[in-house]
């Protein structure tokens, strides 16, 4: 089944019928929230609220390992993750959707692998291209059919949070090649790879990153962009579910 990871608002889609709710047990503990199963435009889909339901968990507090293991146990065969990000380069203006193709990981202290059991073999996964090409291309095709502002490609810089970055840190990320910055892309992406789950990311740019605006960004401005932008995200995901062939 196709699975979506994001905020609780993802389940507010037209033509979505909630069927069930799963709370799979994992050896990594409890997931952020129950895995919701539904029927969307003729497709069975799963939803997981990354930060809990209600939204309570900070990015570094999310049990990413339990989340991914729970989705796998519930029957997920592919994952599209959504997140809100700051825009660093001109490729990522506020309000745009970005379909990143690379990641740089600046997080620390997070559980980064499922293979930490000393009684089991150590596994190193190839992470040269962190997003599944086939899944990403299928998502790109649906974005191309939508009348929305979106960008194909870009590098996602994963920072620790929960604080926002300094202007100097954003300058560093830009020098490193990052186009957008967020706090949840890692280790989520690599854990999906370890579970052999195709994974792609759809990012909504909700504000200019630190130092990239002529004025201080307020939460009211960010909330307004999220309100309108998440409607576009839901539109894209609903259309994607209708056309997705597992």
pLDDT tens per residue, range 78-122? 999 999 999 999 999 999 999 999 999 999 999 999 998 777 778
Contact at 8 Å (CB) between 189 and 103?
yes
Structure-model confidence comparison of residues 244 and 189, the more confident one: 189
Checking if the pLDDT of 218 tops 90, the result is no
CA 68, CA 74: separation in Å to the nearest integer? 10
Contacts of 112 (CB under 8 A, 6+ apart): 186, 187, 190
> What confidence score (pLDDT) does residue 126 get?
96
Pairing of strands 102-105, 155-158: parallel
Query: What structural domains and CATH numbers belong to the chain?
Result: 2-243 (3.40.50.1580)
Question: What is the structure's pLDDT at 61?
Answer: 96
Say which range, 119-123, 149-153, 242-246, has the weakest mean pLDDT.
Answer: 119-123
Residue 108, classed as helix, strand or coil, is: coil
Confidence at residue 8, expressed as pLDDT on a 0 to 100 scale = 65
Average pLDDT, integer, range 198-225: 89
Residue-level pLDDT at 87:
97
Q: What is the largest CA-CA distance in the chain?
A: 54
Q: What is the pLDDT of residue 133?
A: 96
φ/ψ of 229, rounded to 5, equals -70, -40
Which range has highest mean pLDDT (14-18, 190-194, 233-237)?
190-194
Residue of 218 and 150 predicted with greater confidence: 150
Q: Alpha-carbon torsion 67, 69, 71, 73, what sign?
A: negative
Give the C-alpha separation, 241 to 246, whole Å. Answer: 10
Residue 32's pLDDT band, with cuts at 50, 70 and 90, is very high
- Alpha carbons within 13 A on the beta-carbon side of 27: 5
The per-residue pLDDT for range 48-82, each reduced to its tens digit, is 999 998 889 999 999 999 999 999 999 999 999 99
CA atoms within 13 A on the CB side of 42: 7
């Amino acid at each position: 089944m196709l699975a979506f990871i994001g905020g609780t608002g993802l389940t507010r889609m037209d033509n979505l019928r909630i069927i069930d709710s799963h709370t799979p047990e994992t050896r990594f503990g409890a997931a952020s929230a129950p895995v919701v199963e539904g029927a969307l435009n003729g497709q069975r889909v799963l939803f997981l609220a990354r930060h809990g339901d209600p939204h309570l968990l900070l990015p570094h507090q999310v049990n990413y390992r339990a989340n991914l293991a729970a989705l796998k146990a519930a029957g997920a065969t592919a994952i599209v993750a959504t997140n809100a990000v700051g825009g660093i380069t001109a490729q990522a203006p506020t309000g745009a959707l970005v379909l990143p193709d690379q990641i740089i990981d600046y997080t620390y202290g997070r559980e980064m692998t499922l293979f930490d059991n000393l009684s089991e073999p150590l596994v190193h996964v190839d992470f040269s291209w962190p997003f599944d090409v086939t899944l990403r291309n299928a998502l790109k095709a649906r974005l191309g059919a939508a009348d929305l502002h979106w960008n194909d490609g870009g590098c996602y810089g994963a920072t620790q949070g929960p604080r926002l970055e300094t202007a100097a840190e954003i300058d560093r990320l830009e020098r490193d090649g990052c186009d957008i910055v967020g706090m949840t892309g890692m280790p989520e992406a690599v854990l999906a790879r370890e579970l052999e789950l195709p994974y792609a990311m759809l990012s909504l740019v909700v504000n200019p990153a630190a130092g990239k605006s002529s004025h201080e960004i307020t939460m009211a401005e960010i909330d307004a962009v999220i309100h309108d932008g998440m409607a576009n995200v839901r539109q894209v995901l609903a259309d994607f579910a209708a056309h997705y062939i597992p």
